[in-house]
Structure 1
Amino acid sequence: MKGVDRISGLPDSILGHILSFLSTVTAVQTSVLSTRWRDLFTLVSALNFEFEEQHMDWSKRHKSSTVKNFMCFVDRVLFFHRANVDKFRLKCGKRVDSDRIYGWISVALWRGYKHLDLNITLDKFTLPGALFTCRTLVTLKLDIGFVLDVPKGVHFPNLETLQLNSVEFFNDNSVINLFSSCSSLEDVVISRCNMKNISSFNISHHFLKKLTILDLCNSSKYWLMIDTPNLAYFRYNNCIIAGYSLENLTSIVCADIQFQIKDDDDLLVDITDFSKVFCIVGSLTLSLYSLQLLLRCESLPVFSTMIKLKICSGYHRWLKDGGLETLLSRSPELEKLSFPREALRSLPEEVPSCLLFKLKAIEISFFENNEECIRKAKYIIKNGGALENFTIFTYGYGDEKERLKISKVLLASPRKSNKCNFLIVCIVLLIYCLLFRTILFLVSKDK
Structure 2
Amino acid sequence: MDRISQLHDELLLKILAMLPTMKDVVDTMFLSKRWQFLWMMVPRIVYNDNYKNPKYGSFSLFVDRSFFRHEAPVIEALRFKLGSICGSEDIQAWMRSAAKRCVRELTIQIDTFSNKDPVLLPWSLYSGGCSMLVTLNISKAILVDDLDSPISFPSLKTLSLKSIKYPSGEFVKKLLSNCHVLEDLVVEQCQADNVNIFTVIVPSLKSLVLKTLDERLANDTQGFVIDAPSLEKIDIFHSSGFCIFENGITKVVDANLVVDSWKLWKKLGSIASFKRLYLCLPSSKDVYPAGRVFTSLVYLKICTCETEWVNLLMRVLRDSPNLRALRLQQCHILRSKKPRPCWNPSWNEPSSVPECFLSSLETFEWVNYEGAEEEKEAVAFVFRSAKCLKKATINICSKTSDLDKKLEVIKELFSSTRRSPACQLELR
Q: TM-score, normalised by structure 2?
A: 0.85
Other-structure match for 1:165:
162
Assess if the C-alpha contact under 8 Å between 1:135 and 1:155 holds in 2.
yes
* Structure 1 position 68, deviation (Å): 0.5
Q: What SS does the corresponding residue of 1:107 show, helix, strand or coil? A: helix
* Structure 1 position 322, deviation (Å): 3.3
Q: Does 1:247 align with 2:247?
A: yes
Looking at structure 2, the residues matched to 11 and 137 of structure 1 have their Cα atoms a distance apart, in angstroms, of 28
Q: Does 1:305 align with 2:296?
A: yes
What is the letter of the counterpart of residue 321 of structure 2? P
Which structure dedicates a bigger proportion of its chain to helix?
1
Q: What SS does the corresponding residue of 2:284 show, helix, strand or coil? A: helix
What is the letter of the counterpart of residue 31 of structure 1? M
Looking at structure 1, the residues matched to 211 and 377 of structure 2 have their Cα atoms a distance apart, in angstroms, of 37
Range that drifts further, 104-113 or 391-400 = 391-400
Other-structure match for 1:115:
105
* Structure 1 position 300, deviation (Å): 4.7
Assess if the C-alpha contact under 8 Å between 2:81 and 2:109 holds in 1.
yes
Looking at structure 1, the residues matched to 146 and 322 of structure 2 have their Cα atoms a distance apart, in angstroms, of 45
Task: Count matched residues.
Answer: 402
Looking at structure 2, the residues matched to 187 and 370 of structure 1 have their Cα atoms a distance apart, in angstroms, of 40
Assess if the C-alpha contact under 8 Å between 1:42 and 1:83 holds in 2.
yes
* Structure 1 position 394, deviation (Å): 2.7
What is the letter of the counterpart of residue 279 of structure 2? L
Gaps of 5+ in 2: 331-339
Q: What SS does the corresponding residue of 1:111 show, helix, strand or coil? A: coil
Assess if the C-alpha contact under 8 Å between 2:151 and 2:175 holds in 1.
yes
* Structure 1 position 190, deviation (Å): 0.7
1:420 aligned residue (420, 423, 426): 423
What is the letter of the counterpart of residue 303 of structure 2? C
Alignment of structure 1 residues 17-32 onto 2, 5 Å? 17-22=14-19, 23-32=21-30
* Structure 1 position 248, deviation (Å): 3.4
Looking at structure 1, the residues matched to 196 and 377 of structure 2 have their Cα atoms a distance apart, in angstroms, of 49
Looking at structure 2, the residues matched to 370 and 211 of structure 1 have their Cα atoms a distance apart, in angstroms, of 36
Q: Does 1:11 align with 2:1?
A: no
1:132 aligned residue (120, 127, 131): 127
* Structure 1 position 105, deviation (Å): 1.4
Other-structure match for 1:430:
none
Q: What SS does the corresponding residue of 1:159 show, helix, strand or coil? A: coil
Other-structure match for 1:231:
231
Assess if the C-alpha contact under 8 Å between 2:248 and 2:270 holds in 1.
no
* Structure 1 position 403, deviation (Å): 4.4
Q: Does 1:358 align with 2:356?
A: no
Assess if the C-alpha contact under 8 Å between 2:17 and 2:42 holds in 1.
yes
* Structure 1 position 67, deviation (Å): 0.5
Other-structure match for 1:428:
none
* Structure 1 position 402, deviation (Å): 4.4
Assess if the C-alpha contact under 8 Å between 2:242 and 2:264 holds in 1.
no
Assess if the C-alpha contact under 8 Å between 2:121 and 2:141 holds in 1.
no
Looking at structure 2, the residues matched to 343 and 361 of structure 1 have their Cα atoms a distance apart, in angstroms, of 26
What is the letter of the counterpart of residue 292 of structure 1? S
* Structure 1 position 397, deviation (Å): 3.1
* Structure 1 position 92, deviation (Å): 2.0
Q: What SS does the corresponding residue of 2:6 show, helix, strand or coil? A: coil
Distance 1:286 1:371, change over 3 A: closer
What is the letter of the counterpart of residue 138 of structure 1? V
Other-structure match for 2:336:
none
Looking at structure 1, the residues matched to 11 and 329 of structure 2 have their Cα atoms a distance apart, in angstroms, of 51
Looking at structure 2, the residues matched to 117 and 370 of structure 1 have their Cα atoms a distance apart, in angstroms, of 45
Other-structure match for 1:376:
378
Q: TM-score, normalised by structure 1?
A: 0.81
Assess if the C-alpha contact under 8 Å between 1:164 and 1:193 holds in 2.
no
Distance 1:126 1:412, change over 3 A: closer
Other-structure match for 1:429:
none
* Structure 1 position 223, deviation (Å): 3.3
Assess if the C-alpha contact under 8 Å between 1:194 and 1:216 holds in 2.
no
What is the letter of the counterpart of residue 302 of structure 1? V
Other-structure match for 2:174:
177
Q: Percent identity?
A: 27
Distance 1:279 1:69, change over 3 A: same
What is the letter of the counterpart of residue 333 of structure 1? N
Distance 1:338 1:26, change over 3 A: same
Distance 1:234 1:195, change over 3 A: farther
Q: What SS does the corresponding residue of 1:129 show, helix, strand or coil? A: helix
* Structure 1 position 356, deviation (Å): 1.6
What is the letter of the counterpart of residue 292 of structure 2? P
Q: What SS does the corresponding residue of 1:213 show, helix, strand or coil? A: strand
RMSD: 2.8
Gaps of 5+ in 1: 57-62, 426-447
What is the letter of the counterpart of residue 238 of structure 2? N
Other-structure match for 2:206:
209
* Structure 1 position 247, deviation (Å): 2.5
Looking at structure 2, the residues matched to 99 and 281 of structure 1 have their Cα atoms a distance apart, in angstroms, of 47
* Structure 1 position 94, deviation (Å): 4.3
1:76 aligned residue (65, 72, 85): 65
Looking at structure 2, the residues matched to 119 and 350 of structure 1 have their Cα atoms a distance apart, in angstroms, of 54
Other-structure match for 2:334:
none
Residues 3-53 of structure 1: per-residue CA shift (max 9 Å, x gap): x82211123333223211212111111111112212211110111111129
Q: What SS does the corresponding residue of 1:235 show, helix, strand or coil? A: strand
Assess if the C-alpha contact under 8 Å between 2:367 and 2:394 holds in 1.
yes
What is the letter of the counterpart of residue 325 of structure 2? K
Distance 1:226 1:13, change over 3 A: same
Other-structure match for 2:337:
none
Looking at structure 1, the residues matched to 121 and 412 of structure 2 have their Cα atoms a distance apart, in angstroms, of 66
Q: Does 1:282 align with 2:272?
A: no
Q: What SS does the corresponding residue of 2:78 show, helix, strand or coil? A: strand
Assess if the C-alpha contact under 8 Å between 2:104 and 2:132 holds in 1.
yes
Other-structure match for 2:400:
397
